[in-house]
Chains A and B, each alone.
Chain A
Amino acid sequence: MTNIFSIDWYFISLLFFIGLSCILISKNMFKQLIGLEIMSKACLLAVILSGAATNNVNLAQAIAISMILIEAIVITVGLSILIKIYKTTGSLDLRKLL
């Protein structure tokens, strides 16, 4: 019988892979930000899962709360750079910035 945690890790690794491939494939900055969000969701799940598996949920929760706040600030800064670039170049395409 496979352990439930290993199956969860399997799904988390797939989620992380989706986010990473979105950052690598897409040339649109907005799409890349969404990829970043998906990756950080995978990390959040991984931390909570590890906490649950080692009977240490409260430490994992304390970390997860900080992670969510940091994620919000990072995305805000990223969006503000995106607006700035949109104002200067009139496009969100990374290739047009080069």
Chain B
Amino acid sequence: MTISLLAYLLIPLFSAVLIQFTSRYKKNLADIIANITLFAGFLNISHLIFNTAKTAKFSLPPMAQDTFTLLMIFMIYMVALAVSSFSSGFLTEEKNRHHFHSLILVSVSAMCGIVTAGDFFTLYIFVEALAITSLALIAFDKSKKGLKGAIKYFFLNFSGSLFILLAMAILLFTIGTFSFAGIQHLTDPAYGGHWPFQVVAAIILLLSGFLIKSGIFPFHIQTVAAKQGAYSPVSAFMAGTVTKIAGVYAVIKIAIIFNFFDLKLHEISETLMLIGAISILFGAAFAMRQKDFKKMLAYSSISQTGYIILAAGLATPLALLGAIFHIFNHASFKTILFLNEAGLKKNLNTSDMEKMGGLARSMPWTSWSFVIAFMSAAGLPPLSGFWSKFIIIIALWQGGAKGYAMMAIGASVLTLIHFIILQRKVFFGKISAIAKNAQEMPLPMLAPIIVLCIVILVSGILFPYFYACLIETGIKAIL
């Protein structure tokens, strides 16, 4: 952990407090401060991510830093900037905009804390902070649906965190440490390299806690309810980063530090893979059946999370690399999809897919960015989503899980089909009554979508370059 990484955590926190004091009467000031803070951070991290050697050598004790962390911070700032810029156009009638931006900034700082944490307790503190802010964001519009989503989120999440605490206590009792470095030290073959089954119990508790937070198949109720109830930019934020950082990041981290592949933990790793596979199929199948645009996107998000969990369960270096990359790609395309949905909802006042149709003529930018995003989600070749899915499938094939590899390809086709159906219903086809009056989104709302599309295209086409530059140097070191 370097001092510059600490700044990614502290500056948004400071801006959040600043917004509260300055923008009570001038609401636009809140937009400006939040966007400037996030934009500055985004520029800074995108410079840093290609010059990892330049970081200073100051460190606080329980922290960690590697390329995985930097990539995650880049992703957090990217999505937060997109959402904050979009909502300054979206929430024009909302009187409490300064609260909204404060909450977004605090959750950015909490997420940076999560990805830089060096032990399970620090991780736990920041996860709780993140849960509180996202709770307030879900209940932000104060509708009945939003409150319902918030209370479900509250009880599931905080009981999940107590599982994590209990697991931490067992780890402290058994091996005397819960820091990542200490555990990794113990996985060395020199120390025997074989866990007693109490540690296995602790790992199961930890995984169940984090899987509850990631909103995957058996626990999908909370995320679906939350995403349905909240404002649409909030749903984009939740689907893109919050559930990924609070849950899935920690699952990957556990897979790395407990060394799932080398040690004799294959029961856990197989269970994790099974959960991932079930949620891929479940999410894809349920997404096909939805009539509501947003609900469909929420189920499709469960399916994409399944890929990451599947790869994390396999835990070969290649699979972990694919999982990390898929988190990043999922953040970019799912944010576009949810933001497009938000734009449509603001324009048309409905999110029922049956009522839409023929919107491509009146909203060309929205329509084509949607095409790029769903092609990336389905994993079509030139786009970035293709590469991560490709890596995951190859890793599955090499790791001996050929059935899962075939299933992943099949589910990918299923994703493509349901997005094509959606595209035909909403954007192409007959021009419906509401489509005639529809207008293109204003520039502050459109700009983040276009930028994210460019990110998808560039990181897809130049993928081999990024692979060499980023992955070979950094991520190899942590595996």
Contact = CB atoms under 8 A, between A and B. Distances in A.
A18 interface: no
A43 B173 contact: no
28 contacts: A5-B173, A32-B155, A36-B158, A39-B159, A39-B162, A43-B165, A47-B165, A47-B168, A50-B169, A50-B170, A54-B176, A56-B172, A60-B172, A63-B121, A66-B121, A74-B128, A77-B132, A77-B135, A77-B136, A78-B154, A81-B135, A81-B150, A84-B142, A84-B147, A85-B147, A89-B144, A97-B144, A97-B147
A68 interface: no
B151 A54 contact: no
A54 B162 CA distance: 21
Interface string B144-176: 100110110011001100100110111011001
A81 B154 contact: yes
- Which of B136, B144, B172 gathers the greatest number of chain A CB atoms within 10 Å? B172
Contacts of B168: 47
Interface in B234-281: none
Nearest to A70: B128
Contact of B148 (A63, A78, A98): A98
Interface of B: 121, 125, 128, 132, 135-136, 139, 142, 144, 147-148, 150-151, 154-155, 158-159, 162, 165-166, 168-170, 172-173, 176
Given A43-B165, A47-B169, A56-B172, 14 more contacts: A23-B155, A36-B159, A42-B162, A42-B166, A43-B166, A47-B165, A54-B173, A59-B172, A70-B128, A74-B128, A81-B147, A81-B151, A85-B151, A94-B151
Contacts of A63: 121
Contacts, number: 83
Interface of B is mostly: helix
Contacts of B159: 20, 23, 36, 39
Given A74-B132, A78-B154, A88 B144 contact: yes
A43 B168 CA distance: 9
A89 B128 CA distance: 27
Given A88-B147, A89-B144, A97-B144, A47 B135 contact: no
A91 interface: no
A40 B124 CA distance: 13
A84 B149 CA distance: 13
Contacts of A16: 162, 166
Given A36-B159, A39-B162, A81-B135, A51 B150 contact: no
B148 A97 contact: yes
B154 A49 contact: no
Contact of B172 (A47, A78, A94, A98): A47
Interface in A48-62: 49-51, 53-54, 56, 59-60
Contacts of B155: 23, 32, 36
Contacts of B135: 77, 81
A29 B94 CA distance: 29
B172 A51 contact: yes
Nearest to B156: A23
Given A43-B166, A46-B166, A88-B144, A56 B176 contact: yes
